[in-house]
């Protein structure tokens, strides 16, 4: 198969590709999800807030909170961060 340049995927195809990601295993294809990108200036704040709320849940694995906080830290150092929509 030859690559004939960039291909545009439909929203449904993009969602399908995202849901193939092993980190999203177990999420049904029809379940709505929300993705925060590191380029969004508020993303690390939102992820840290999520962690603060879920830290109150005694069943929340500490490893999940640690992983989320590490992602928030990486997001905060991402270059070219901007407000969503810019």
Instruction: Compute the distance between CA of residue 65 and CA of residue 62 in angstroms, rounded to an integer.
Output: 5
Indicate whether 41 belongs to any domain: yes
Write out the residue range of the structural domain in which residue 39 sits. 34-79
Indicate whether 10 belongs to any domain: no
Q: Is the dihedral of CA 18, 22, 28, 29 positive or negative?
A: positive
The one-digit pLDDT tens for each residue of the chain (86 residues) are: 344 445 676 777 776 777 677 877 888 878 888 889 999 999 999 999 999 999 999 999 999 999 999 999 999 999 999 998 88
Residues 2-22 as b or e (16 or more Cβ within 10 Å = b): eeeeeeeeeeeeeeeeebeee
Task: Look at the chain and report how many structural domains it folds into.
Answer: 1
Indicate whether 50 belongs to any domain: yes
Indicate whether 52 belongs to any domain: yes
Tokens of 29: 């294809």
pTM greater than the 0.85 cutoff: no
């Amino acid at each position: 198969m030859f690559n004939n340049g960039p291909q545009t995927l439909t929203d449904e195809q993009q969602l399908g590709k995202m849901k193939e990601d092993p980190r999203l295993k177990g999420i049904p294809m029809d379940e709505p999800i929300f993705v925060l990108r590191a380029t969004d200036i508020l993303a690390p704040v939102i992820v840290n807030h999520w962690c603060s709320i879920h830290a109150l849940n005694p069943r929340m694995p500490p490893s999940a909170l640690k992983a989320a906080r590490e992602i928030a830290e990486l997001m905060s150092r991402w270059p070219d961060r901007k407000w969503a929509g810019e």
